[in-house]
Amino acid sequence: MSVVTRAAVDIEKPPPRARGWPRARIVGYALVGFWILFGIGIVTYLVFAWNGEFFARYAPAYLQGLWTTLALVAISMVLGALFSLPVTYARMSKNRYLSVLAYCYVYFFRGTPLLVQVYLVYYGLGSFRVQLESVGLWWFFRDAFNCGVFAFALNTAAYQAEILRGAIESVPRGQWEGAASLGLHKLQTLRKVILPQALIVALRPYGNELVLMIKASAIVAIITVYDLMGNAKLAYAKSFDFQAYVWVAIVYLVMVEILRHGVEWIERRITIHLKR
Amino acid sequence: MPSQNIWILLSWGPDGWIDDIAYGALVTIALALATLPIGLTIGFFVAWAKQSEEPSLRVAANIYTTVFRGLPELVTLFLFFFGMPILLQYVVRLFRPEATVDVDSFLAGMIVLSLIFSSYSSEVFLSAFRAIPKGQYEGGYAIGLSKWQTMRKVILPQLLRIAFPGLENCWLSLLKDTALVSVVNLAETLRNAGVAARVTKHSFLFYSVAAMVFLILAILSSIATGFILRSLGRREAR
C-alpha cells in the first residue's frame, strides 16, 4: 500500500524548475520589468501632475459620476433581468413564431454595436418628438439618462436571455421528468428543481455580463450623460489635463477587478457542495 | 419634421447618403481586417506566455489581459488618442522643438482594438492550448523538432482548429467595437450615418441603416466562418 502511495507521490511531483537563464526567463523578466517601469511611470506622472486645485474641483464630480454609473448599470441590469424572462420563455417555447421573434430580438441586440442602439434611442426616437408627446412619453425620452437606461436594459435583456436559456438547457432532461413524476407542475419544477441548478451555471456569465455592462456604461458619456466617463470628458475639456483620463481609467479598473474577484469568490462559496 | 422623400435620401449620389454610408462600411471593414492579424498574433503570444512554465512570463501576460480587459474600450481609446500625441510630442520635441504630433484616428483605433482583441483572443487561445495533450509536444521533441518548430508545425495547426469557434466570437465583438472609433472622428459607418442624420434630421432612419450595416456584416461573417469551419472539419484527421 505504502509503495503505491509513494509512486503516486513521485508522479504528482512537478518537474524541477529550469535553472540558469533560459530564453523564456530572460523574456519574462524583461516583460515584467517593462510593466514595473510602466507602473512607476504612471505613478511618477500622477505625482508630478498632482494639482490640488484640479483634485478639489473634479473629485466630487467624479464621485457623483461614479454614482451615476452605478445607478445606470444597476437599474438597467434589473430591468434587463425582468425583461429577459419573457424573452427566454419565447425563445424556448414550442410556438415557432414566438421563438423566431425572440431569436430576431436577441440577434439584433447582440449583432449591432451598443453605441448604435444608444444613438437609435437617444437621437432616433428624438426625431419622433411629436408622436411621443402625443402618447405622453416624451418626458421619459427627453432625458439622456433615461435613454441610456432604456437602451442598456434592452441590450442586456438580449444577453441575459441567452445566458438564462443556456443555463436552463444545461440542466438534464431527467430533472424535468423526475419532478413531473413527483407530481410537481411546470412552474414548481422550474422554481424548486431547475433554477437552483441552472443559476449556479449562470452565475459566472451573469458576472461577466455585469462587468461588460459597467465597461459599456462609459458609452453614455457620448450622449451627454455625466457618468464617470462623462465627468472625465468634461474635466479634460475644461482643463486639458490628461490626468483626467488616467484617474478614470484607474477607477474603472479597480471597480472591474473588485467585481470579478467578488463573483469568483461567490462562485467558490456556492459550489462547495460540488467539490469532490 | 423634414419631409424629404426618404427614397431620395437613401439613394446613391449627391442627394442620397447611401454612398457615404457604404464608404463608411468599407472603412469599418478595413479597420476590423487590419486589426485582426495584429490582434491574433499578440493574442497567440500572450496565451503562449500564460501557459508557460516560467512564472515571470505568466505574470507579465496576466497583467496585460487584466489591464486591457478591465478598462472600458472607450477609456482605452481616449487614453491612446489623447495620451499618445502628448507622449510622442514630448519625445519628438527632444530632437525637433517645433514639431507637433497628431495621431491618425484610424491608427489609434487600430492599436486600441488590437490591444482589446488580443486580450480577449488570448483567453480563447489559452483554453485551446489546454485542450492539446502534452504528448503532442513530446512527440514533436522526440522526432528532433526544436521548441519553435514543434509550436509552428505540430501545435499551431491543431490550436487554430480548436480555437476557431471562440475566435469567431472575438471577431464579432471586434466588428462591433469598431463603432466606438467613430467617437474620435474616424469616418466609418456610424460616423457617416450620424452626419447624414444631423444634416437631414432623419436620425432614426440613418441610425437604423447603420444598425443594418452592422447586422449584415455579422451575418456575412457567420456565413464565411461557416464555410471555413466546414472546410476545417473536412480536413480533420480521423
Domain covering B6-235, topology: MetI-like fold (1.10.3720)
The CA distance from B210 to B212, in Å, is 5
Of A24, A120, A221, the CB nearest to B57: A24
Which pLDDT score, from 0 to 100, does residue A11 have?
62
Segment B155-161 shows an average pLDDT of 90
pLDDT at A135: 84
Do the chains contact at B52 and A28, CB–CB below 8 Å?
A: yes
d(CA B128, CA B133): 10
The answer to whether B203 contacts A126, with C-beta atoms less than 8 Å apart, is yes
pLDDT band at B163 (very low <50, low <70, confident <90, very high): very high
| pLDDT confidence of residue A8 | 54
pLDDT score for B125: 95
What is the average pLDDT across B5-33? 85
pLDDT digits over B24-72, tens only? Answer: 999 999 999 999 999 999 999 999 999 988 889 999 999 999 999 999 9
CA B201 vs CA A107, A113, B5, B195: distances in Å? 28, 22, 12, 10
What is the model's pLDDT at position A9? 53
Searching chain A, which residue's CA lies closest to the CA of residue B83?
A242
Q: To probe the interface with B, which of A36, A104, A116 has the most B CB atoms within 10 Å?
A: A116
CB A93 within 8 A of CB A86: no
Which tens digit of pLDDT belongs to each residue from A189-246? Answer: 989 999 999 988 899 999 999 999 999 999 999 998 999 999 999 999 988 888 889 9
| Min Cα separation A4/chain B (Å) | 24
Chain A CB contacts of B62 under 8 Å are none
Distances (CA, A) of A266 to A78, A213, A263, A269: 19, 19, 5, 5
Domain boundaries, chain A: 69-227
What distance in Å separates residue B235's CA from the closest CA in chain A?
30
Smallest CA-to-CA distance from A156 within A203, A106, A100, A198 is with A106
Distance (Å) from the alpha carbon of A233 to chain B's nearest alpha carbon: 9
Whether the Cβ atoms of residue A90 and residue A98 lie closer than 8 Å to each other: yes
Q: Do the chains contact at A219 and B71, CB–CB below 8 Å?
A: no
Confidence of residue B182 (pLDDT cuts 50, 70, 90): very high
Residue B1 has pLDDT above 50, yes or no: no
* The three cell numbers locating residue A113: 454595436
Residue A1 has pLDDT above 50, yes or no: no
Range with the largest mean pLDDT of A57-71, A128-142, B78-92: A57-71
CATH superfamily of A69-227: MetI-like (1.10.3720.10)
Cβ distance A219 to B53 less than 8 Å, yes or no, reads no
Interchain pair A31, B49: CB under 8 A? yes
SS3 B172: helix
Nearest CA in chain A to B64: A35
Q: Do B204 and A124 touch (CB under 8 A)?
A: yes
Chain A hits for B86, CB-CB cut-off 8 Å, are: 242
pLDDT of residue A77: 95
Label residue B4 by pLDDT band (50, 70, 90): low
Q: Which residues in B205-224 are b (16+ Cβ under 10 Å) and which e? A: bbbbbbbbbbeebbeebeee
Length of chain A: 276
Decide if B180 and A113 are in contact by the 8 Å CB cutoff: yes
Q: Give the separation between CA B27 and CA B31, rounded to whole angstroms.
A: 6
Among chain B residues, the shortest Cα distance to A121 is held by B204
Amino acid at B177: D
Q: In the prediction, which pLDDT does A240 show?
A: 84
Q: What share of chain A in percent tops pLDDT 70? A: 93
Residue B18 burial (10 A CB sphere; 0-12, 13-18, 19+) = middle
The b-or-e profile of A141-150 (16+ CB within 10 A means b, else e) is beebbbbbbb
**How confident is the model over B100-150, as pLDDT tens digits?**
777 888 999 999 999 999 999 999 999 999 999 999 999 999 999 998 899
Q: Which of B1, B71, B78 sits opposite A253 (nearest CB)?
A: B71
